Amino acid sequence: MENRKKEKNDEQDIIERVKNDGIRFVELQFTDLLGSVKSTTIPAHRLAETLDKGIWFDGSSIEGFARICESDMVLRPDISTYAVLPWRPKDKAVARFLCDVYRPDGKPYESDPRFILRQAVEEARSMGFEYCVGPELEFFLFKPENGGNISTTPATHDVAAYFDFSPKDLASDVRRDIMIALEEMGIEVEMSHHEVAPGQHEIDFKYGDALSTADKAITLKTTIRSIAYLHSIHATFMPKPIFGQNGSGMHVHQSLFDIKTGKNIFFDEDSDTKLSETAKQFIAGQLKFIREISAVVAPTVNSYKRLVPGYEAPVYICWAQRNRSSLIRIPRYSPGREQSTRAELRCPDPSCNPYLAFAVMLKAGLQGIKDDLKLPEAVNDNVYSFDGDMRKDRSISTLPGSLGEAIDEMKRGSIVQACFGEITFNKYITIKESEWDRYRIQVTAWEKEEYFSG
């Protein structure tokens, strides 16, 4: 009773805030299984009713959602995600809420990515842990051509390199406007810079709990695309848009915190590595199950064009302290910054659905703790310099080489199905197998050039 009373008071506060902000329209956003943002728009005067009862929508047309015979779904706004969209005109002000998806009977919809992450987070909390993450999303900016279209060989927005400054970095103004918009939406930006490849950039925001961070990752992508459009350029989170250049990753820094004390459970003063046994078990779990969760954290055909040797992307399944060629990197420990102890998983890319990616990453790590897995020896040398025999001697295996291989690993494994549930797991498999088949049967320009005269 007390909880519902508090919810009602919070809802009244939000309704008043919407009124004071001069909001005319409200976007109710959610994601499909692939991470695409979907939305329905209501006039602001309908918000009170929507907060009370939710709003109906047809789930049968959403990728990975309901069949046509069970299409009715209900959106319920999460009032903690309220934000005004700063790129919309003030006289037609628009706010947004991220929503949870429910069935008509009031039960959470099992294929809602937010619900799947909530379940994984609750499992961690039942073990006494709060899972916190900090994703680093990279992206490319391209010049639209032919009246605003992106051609098959688009030109990058600039030719600058890693950490270059103006005038080479033509996107400094774009990144500035993106940062301003994010701050206005309540996201604390930590830094932005030009990345390694021409036209490639990164904007980082503050580390936080997994669910709110996934919300922020979705918001970041929407904001980057929207602000880029206002500058008449195109933003893409495609992992490998340019052959011969570095691809875009979404490295994820992760820690577990004690839900009672707030202390970082990954830190141990008496350990040579400063990693606790729990941290080692968590990392061991991710190393053990990484091949079977790859189709979630690196979910597209194009993801595996990035995950190749030679472009700073992780390929080899090992961990190290400070070694950027490893799959999991442990950033350098600094006295006084014990709360910052973390493990950086480097294979995810920004084409993933962050809710699902964080969920399977957490599930794999928790399984490592439950099974008391032992962490292999660190590999502090450059793994790219190892030949096949050296990797074999060190028991260093590799990530899947294609989406098809990743799907097979996921089907043989247990972690993703345990995380998603059987219904959603089968939906995800069907979607990914269809994507792989559409790619597999294509006749590409490379094949024509290579074989046409044969």
**Residues designated catalytic:** 58, 136, 138, 195, 202, 251, 324, 344, 346
HEC assignment per residue over the chain: CHHHHHHHHHHHHHHHHHHHCCCCEEEEEEECCCCCEEEEEEEHHHHHHHHHHCEEEEHHHCCCCCCHHHCEEEEEECHHHCEECCCCCHHHCEEEEEEEEECCCCCECCCCHHHHHHHHHHHHHHCCEEEEEEEEEEEEEEECECCCECCCCCEECCCCCCCCCCCCCCCHHHHHHHHHHHHHCCCCEEEEEECCCCCEEEEEECCEEHHHHHHHHHHHHHHHHHHHHHCCCEEECCCCCCCCCCCCCEEEEEEEEECCCCCECCECCCCCCCECHHHHHHHHHHHHHHHHHHHHHCCCCCHHHHCCCCCCCCCECCEEECCCCCCEEECCCCCCCHHHCCEEECCCCCCCCHHHHHHHHHHHHHHHHHCCCCCCCCCCCCHHHCCHHHHHHCCCCECCCCHHHHHHHHHHCCHHHHHHCHHHHHHHHHHHHHHHHHHHCCCCHHHHHHHCCC
Q: Are 175 and 159 in contact (CB under 8 A)?
A: no
